[in-house]
Amino acid sequence: MANTYFQFKQFTVHQDKAAMKVGTDGVLLGAWAKIENCQTVLDVGTGTGLVALMIAQRNSKTAIHAIDVDNDAVQQANGNFRLSKWSDRLVAEHVSIQDYGRTNRRVLDHIVCNPPFFKNSFKSNDLARNVARHCDSLSYEELIKYSYNLLHETGRLSVVLPYDVMNEFVNIGQRTGFILSRQMLIKPTPSKTFGRVLIELSKKTDESCVYSEMIVEDKGRHGYSNEYIALTNEFYLAM
């Protein structure tokens, strides 16, 4: 049975209600997203609120609006937000990005998303988990289109995805008007193939893309690489 909470250095994430628990993907995104100069951030599919909490910790001037289509996740995220020291800058709402984009006129500096990514694959009997993990309720096209419309003229969209859909996602982004501004390929271990990719799309067209790679564990089980430690040590208790 999974733990009902995950303790970080500056906050606690309770996860008994949310379909998707704390994982490496969310931690990578929350630590990697470029939010230093952001005043407004939208976290799409917030789940437990992990990424939003990490961004609040990293930037004391950022207001984060988190959204999710799973009402249990929204309740969980808002509970985690209230328990944090940044509760005045965090709020979660039960709404899809489609409805949020149709009705919201605010202009955002950055959108982050750990999106559903399984297509045409076996589904479990857990409806909430299926929604969190499968693309049926949020396609890449919709995520990119609504993000583009919500972002400031120099705004950015950052996501974590399986490596094998990287080109598809970037191509959709470029057709929409984004450019690829940052990309980090992630290997779990030196002997494994790339499993995940962190992607940043920008509306600022004169930027050159910054490419990088990282191995999570290069010294055996829980033997984290220097790069992974440098990226995440502000958060993990054991780092």
Query: Among 13-17, 91-95, 235-239, where is mean pLDDT lowest?
Result: 235-239
The pLDDT of residue 3 is above 80? no
Which range of 28-37, 107-116, 203-212 scores highest in mean pLDDT? It is: 28-37
Model pLDDT, residue 207: 84
The pLDDT of residue 13 is above 80? yes
Each domain of the chain, given as residue ranges in start order, spans 5-232
Model pLDDT, residue 123: 41
pTM, two decimals, is 0.90
Comparison of pLDDT for 222 and 1, the residue scoring more = 222
Percent of the chain surpassing pLDDT 70: 90
Q: Write the DSSP string, the chain.
A: ---SEEEBSS-EEE-SS-SS---HHHHHHHHHS--TT-SEEEEET-TTSHHHHHHHHH-TT-EEEEEES-HHHHHHHHHHHHHSTTGGGEEEEE--HHHHHHH----EEEEEE----B-S----S-HHHHHHHBGGGS-HHHHHHHHHHHEEEEEEEEEEEEGGGHHHHHHHHHHHT-EEEEEEEEESSTTSPP-EEEEEEES-TTPPPEEEEEESBSSSTT-B-HHHHHHHTTTBTT-
Model pLDDT, residue 2: 59
Model pLDDT, residue 120: 41
Average of pLDDT values for 106-126? 69
Percent of the chain surpassing pLDDT 90: 80
Query: Among 70-79, 83-92, 119-128, 191-200, where is mean pLDDT lowest?
Result: 119-128
Model pLDDT, residue 117: 59
Report the CATH number of the 5-232 domain. Answer: 3.40.50.150
Model pLDDT, residue 125: 55
pLDDT digits (tens, 9 = 90+) for 86-95: 999 999 999 9
Average of pLDDT values for 40-62? 97
Model pLDDT, residue 134: 40
